């Protein structure tokens, strides 16, 4: 039987990218969120893909501390899913006047569009990151992905601000050199 977590437990778990929490939030909300998405989109695969993307955005918003705790996690996820479904239609220029209004009324902050990175370059970066020592990898991920402040990281890792600032620069250069080689 699947464990049901409270919103607080889920938020803590998702912030850590815990697999069981991601799986739990995914399965607990799938039926209702796809029900909402399928009001706007016909294709089952499009619905599934929009839902998967919505869960990713939810997890990332929690990691980046953008989640507004006044609403429940489920409501928030469904809001994201609805936004993404309508945005998908907007990009395909398929929004009716009524849906356009619904889209405007959503008041959801559009997440940054993910820039495309060529697959071969991504694979190289991945290999490079795997070759980096754990502390370098941790610093780069915390700073560039989790958008943590260097000061905050220094405190967490019990290191000085200057040490971590210099180390971050060196780690980035090391990664660049791994890729170049």
Q: Which of 5, 10, 50, 59 binds other proteins (CB under 8 A)?
A: 59
Q: Please enumerate in sequence order all residues whose Cβ is within 8 A of that of 135, keeping only pairs 6 or more positions apart, or say none.
A: 167
Distance of alpha carbon 21 from alpha carbon 27, whole angstroms: 10
Distance of alpha carbon 1 from alpha carbon 25, whole angstroms: 15
Contact between 170 and other proteins per CB under 8 A = yes
Q: Which of 23, 66, 90, 155 binds other proteins (CB under 8 A)?
A: 23
Distance of alpha carbon 69 from alpha carbon 72, whole angstroms: 7
- For the bound state, the minimum distance from the C-beta of residue 82 to other proteins, rounded and expressed in Å, comes to 14
Site for other proteins in 93-152 (CB under 8 A): 114-115, 117, 121-122, 124-126, 128-129, 133-135, 138, 140-141, 144-145
Contact between 161 and other proteins per CB under 8 A = no
Contact between 18 and other proteins per CB under 8 A = yes
Residue 49: CB atoms within 10 Å: 15
Distance of alpha carbon 145 from alpha carbon 125, whole angstroms: 14
- Helix ranges (H only) for the chain are 7-15, 19-37, 44-63, 73-91, 97-105, 119-131, 134-140, 150-156, 161-180
Taking contact as CB under 8 A, which single stretch among the options 30-38, 68-76, 89-97, 101-109 is the one that binds other proteins?
30-38
Contact residues toward other proteins (CB under 8 A) are: 1-3, 13, 16-23, 26-27, 30-31, 34-35, 38-39, 42, 44, 47-48, 52, 55-56, 59-60, 114-115, 117, 121-122, 124-126, 128-129, 133-135, 138, 140-141, 144-145, 156-158, 166, 169-170, 172-173, 175-176, 179
């Amino acid at each position: 039987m699947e464990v049901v977590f409270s919103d607080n437990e889920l938020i803590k778990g998702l912030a850590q990218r815990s697999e069981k929490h991601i799986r739990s939030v995914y399965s607990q909300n799938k039926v209702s969120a796809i029900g909402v998405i399928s009001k706007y989109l016909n294709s089952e695969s499009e619905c599934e893909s929009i839902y998967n993307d919505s869960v990713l955005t939810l997890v990332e918003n929690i990691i980046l501390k953008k989640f507004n705790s006044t609403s429940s996690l489920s409501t928030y996820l469904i809001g994201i899913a609805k936004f993404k479904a309508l945005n998908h239609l907007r990009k395909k220029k398929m929004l009716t006047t009524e849906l356009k209004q619904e889209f405007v009324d959503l008041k959801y902050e559009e997440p940054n569009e993910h820039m495309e990175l060529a697959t071969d370059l991504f694979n190289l970066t991945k290999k490079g990151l795997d070759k980096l020592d754990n502390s370098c990898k941790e610093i780069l991920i915390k700073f560039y992905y989790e958008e943590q402040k260097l000061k905050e990281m220094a405190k967490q890792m019990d290191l000085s601000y200057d040490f971590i600032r210099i180390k971050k620069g060196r780690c980035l250069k090391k990664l660049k050199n791994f890729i170049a080689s």
